[in-house]
Amino acid sequence: MRPGARIGVVSPSYWIEPERLARAVGVFEAAGYELVIGPSVTARHHKFAGTPEERAADIMAMFEDPAIDAILCARGGYGGNRVLPLLDYDAIRRHPKIFVGFSDVTGFLASMAQRSGLVTFHGPMLTTWGKETIDYNLETFERVLSGQDGVRIESAPGCRARVLRPGVARGPLWGGNLSLVEERLGTPGQIDTRGAVLMLEEVDERLHALDRMMQHLRSAGSLEGIAGLVIGELLEMKDTDEPFGKTAEEIVLDACAGYDFPIVANFPCGHGACQATLPYAHPIEIRAEDDSPAILVPEAPVI
């Protein structure tokens, strides 16, 4: 991601509002990048940014275009699961590119890493930049994608991370949106979490649903053998008239009972305003040693 890089923009799931798209393009152009808007970004097929075939074709065109340096997703939503089987993972392996997104894009991050050997990036999309410009987001985005070693990522002033269980952990980062991680359980795309630093985030769920998903991960063995756990912001967690009886973080700790890996909570890597860019399927180190937990990326995830 050098100055002047050409960034292809795709919409793998829902379409993005035109006003948000225009604002986000302005942010990147002001930072010195050139954005190439793919056909899916302006396509509409009900709630989706075109049909699954159209969205898959747009993604593949961006990977195969030698003039494109990186690919940034416009937004998430739902529907990526219809696109994933249509991608040519061998072609993606032959034409590796920086690929960035979160939320429903979790499926793309995992599948491209599993089937193409690609390091992908869990980070802000155009819908984030279309709301407001936060220095933390752009600064972290550029540092992680700069090619430098030893990048330290701390939490943002507007989203202070907390240590739920102290320690230091090292391993490749896997995970993403909890609903999408759970969706892959029992399928060929299930994430192998052994030795990994697992990252999970979620938004707009009932507390009992959060508990169900965390217990499902535990019973599936996805928490056993992980090196550490990073919990992003758990936003808009709702209760019922009859209280569930536990907070979101208490639900996480309950699911992790009996394990001794370090846990960091409220890290800015979810649906909040502050969003760090994190290398997916790439070795990282979490430092949960004091009141300022951080993630270290020892070796550059891009060249």
Q: Are 73 and 41 in contact (CB under 8 A)?
A: no
State the pLDDT at residue 299.
98
State the pLDDT at residue 236.
95
State the pLDDT at residue 1.
84
> Which of 44, 35, 264 shows the shortest CA–CA distance to 154?
264
Dihedral angle of Cα 152, 279, 105, 238, to the nearest 10 degrees: -40
List, in sequence order, the alpha helices (H) in 65-125: 80-83, 89-94, 106-116
β-strand 70-73 against 98-101: which pairing, if any? parallel
State the pLDDT at residue 158.
86
Structure tokens, 57: 């074709």
Q: Are 264 and 168 in contact (CB under 8 A)?
A: no
Three-class SS of residue 132?
Answer: coil
Q: What is the pTM of this model?
A: 0.97
112, 120, 122, 281 from 116: Cα distances, Å: 5, 10, 17, 11
State the pLDDT at residue 2.
87
- Is 249 a known active-site residue? no
Longest dimension (CA), the chain: 56
User: What amino acid occupies position 143?
Assistant: R
State the pLDDT at residue 290.
83
From 201, 202, 233, 285, the catalytic residue: 201
Between the two ends of the chain, the Cα-to-Cα distance in Å is: 10
Q: Are 205 and 252 in contact (CB under 8 A)?
A: no
CA–CA separation, 234 and 272 (whole Å): 9
From 40, 111, 222, 271, the catalytic residue: 271
Domains of the chain (ranges plus CATH)?
A: 6-133 (3.40.50.10740), 151-297 (3.50.30.60)
Sign of CA dihedral 240, 245, 247, 253: negative
> Which of 53, 57, 59, 50 shows the shortest CA–CA distance to 14?
50
Q: Are 46 and 74 in contact (CB under 8 A)?
A: no
From 11, 40, 103, 116, the catalytic residue: 103
> Which of 16, 25, 284, 44 shows the shortest CA–CA distance to 150?
284
State the pLDDT at residue 34.
97
- Is 201 a known active-site residue? yes
98, 156, 261 from 189: Cα distances, Å: 21, 32, 24
Buried/exposed code over 31-41 (b: 16+ C-beta within 10 A; e: otherwise): eebebbbbebb
Which segments of the chain have a pLDDT < 70? Answer: none
Structure tokens, 122: 């869990």
